[in-house]
Structure 1
């Protein structure tokens, strides 16, 4: 999904075009990874000083219902990114910057032998860790703390 497809879907489903919705979708287009409601509010507070979490969550919920966004949870906080619709795949997710990388392997192929009588209707597989850039930043920050002490 991308911003243009999302805006067209909203229009085709009869939802009003609002600047807030477009600006929220812009944030996802620019992020390249997951965003939290808190990050969205922080990014939009200059343009919309009174924007509430209710407004943000209402839009996130709508976007999720329309399969514009998908959700995951990191450290107990719901995070969102554009819904992937190209093909079946999973993600590597950086815990620091939220960027994702697509992985095309699916562990479900191997797990189907565990219980052949169990009917799987869906699954989610995500791998969490740190991307190279964030690992380098973490190491740099650690080295600064060691030299300061």
Structure 2
């Protein structure tokens, strides 16, 4: 999803596309990987913007609920990234820098065989480690 698609989705669902909302979307669209709310706040403060923690967290939650942002948990903290789902895939996530790499394999075919009598309502499959960049540092 790009910033314009996200803004269109906000407007379609009755939300205003304020400057702060666009700034948040711009930040995540420029990132290569997952970032924390603290990363976002630091970025906005570096741009000399006044930052309300409530506004940041409320918008992050809204974007997650609308499918604009994806979330994961790393080191006990929630991380966000722009939703890149053009097709079903999973991610390798670097524990050091948060960068991601799409993985096009999904283990669900085998899992469904093992859980034939269960009603699966969703799944999440992520692999964690160090990217080549972080391994070399």
**Number of the residue aligned with 1:115:** 115
Calculate the TM-score normalised by the size of structure 1.
Answer: 0.87
Shift of residue 14 of structure 1? Answer: 1.8
Alpha-carbon distance in structure 2 between the residues aligned to 1:38 and 1:83: 19
Shift of residue 135 of structure 1? Answer: 0.8
Are 1:17 and 2:7 matched, yes or no? no
Alpha-carbon distance in structure 2 between the residues aligned to 1:119 and 1:13: 31
Shift of residue 3 of structure 1? Answer: 1.1
Q: Name the CA shift for 1:92/1:81 in 2 (closer, same or farther; >3 Å).
A: same
Are 1:124 and 2:124 matched, yes or no? yes
**Number of the residue aligned with 1:54:** 54
Residue correspondences, number: 137
**Number of the residue aligned with 2:76:** 76
Higher gyration radius (CA): 1
Alpha-carbon distance in structure 2 between the residues aligned to 1:40 and 1:90: 24
Tell me the secondary structure at the aligned position of residue 46 of structure 2: coil
Are the equivalent residues in 1 in contact too, given 2:44–2:50 (CA < 8 A)?
A: no
User: More deviation in 101-110 or 45-54?
Assistant: 45-54
**Number of the residue aligned with 1:103:** 103
Q: Cα RMSD between the aligned structures?
A: 1.2
Tell me the secondary structure at the aligned position of residue 102 of structure 2: strand
Calculate the TM-score normalised by the size of structure 2.
Answer: 0.94
Alpha-carbon distance in structure 1 between the residues aligned to 2:32 and 2:46: 22
Alpha-carbon distance in structure 2 between the residues aligned to 1:46 and 1:96: 22
Shift of residue 115 of structure 1? Answer: 2.3
Tell me the secondary structure at the aligned position of residue 71 of structure 1: strand
Structure 2 residues without counterparts, runs of 5 or longer = none
